[in-house]
Amino acid sequence: MGQPHGIGIVGLGVISAQYLATLGDHPDVRIVATADLDHARAEEIANGIDGCRALSVDDLVADPAVQTVLNLTVPAAHAEIASKALAAGKGVFGEKPLAATLADARRIVGERDASWLGCAPDTVLGTGVQTARAALEAGAIGRPLAATATWVSAGHEAWHPHPDFYYRAGGGPLLDMGPYYLTTLFHLLGPVARVSGASSRPRDTRTIASGPRAGEVIPVEVDTHVTGVLEHVGGAVSTVTFSFDAPVSDAAPIEVYGETGTLSVPDPNLFDGEVRVRAGRQDEWHAVTERAGYEHAGRGIGILDRIRTGSDRTDAAIALHVLEVMTALQESARTGTRVEIETRPTPPPVVPFTGKEQWRAG
pLDDT in tens, 143-168: 999 999 999 999 999 999 999 989 99
Give the mean pLDDT of 105-123: 97
At residue 2, the pLDDT reads 74
Please say whether the beta carbons of 333 and 240 come within 8 A.
Answer: no
User: What stretches of 46-188 adopt beta strand conformation (E)?
Assistant: 53-54, 68-71, 91-94, 117-119, 144-152
At residue 261, the pLDDT reads 97
pLDDT at residue 1 tops 90: no
Rounded CA gap, 182 and 127, in Å? 17
CATH of region 5-119: 3.40.50.720
Please say whether the beta carbons of 362 and 1 come within 8 A.
Answer: yes
Rounded CA gap, 323 and 105, in Å? 8
Rounded CA gap, 300 and 330, in Å? 29
At residue 169, the pLDDT reads 83
Positive or negative, the Cα torsion across 289, 303, 317, 168?
Answer: positive
At residue 171, the pLDDT reads 86
**Beta-bridge mates of residue 247:** none
Please give the helix or strand (H or E) that residue 103 lies within, else none. helix 102-111
Q: Which CATH class is domain 123-294+313-340?
A: alpha beta
Write the CA distances from 35 to 49, 57, 129, 230, integer angstroms: 14, 6, 32, 39
At residue 43, the pLDDT reads 98
Whole-model pTM: value is 0.96
pLDDT in tens, 287-345: 999 999 999 999 999 999 999 999 999 999 999 999 999 999 999 999 999 999 999 99
Sorted by where each begins, the domain ranges of the chain are 5-119, 123-294+313-340
Write the CA distances from 272 to 36, 185, 199, 261, 283, integer angstroms: 31, 16, 30, 22, 25
pLDDT in tens, 240-278: 999 999 988 999 999 999 999 999 999 999 999 999 999
Averaged pLDDT of the chain: 96
pLDDT in tens, 31-62: 999 999 999 999 999 999 999 999 999 999 99
Rounded CA gap, 264 and 274, in Å? 8
At residue 170, the pLDDT reads 78
At residue 280, the pLDDT reads 82
Give the mean pLDDT of 90-98: 97
Please say whether the beta carbons of 16 and 23 come within 8 A.
Answer: no
Q: Which residues contact 187 (CB under 8 A, 6 or more apart)?
A: 124, 129, 130, 133, 347
Q: Which of 183, 19, 2, 104 is nearest to 10 (CA)?
A: 19
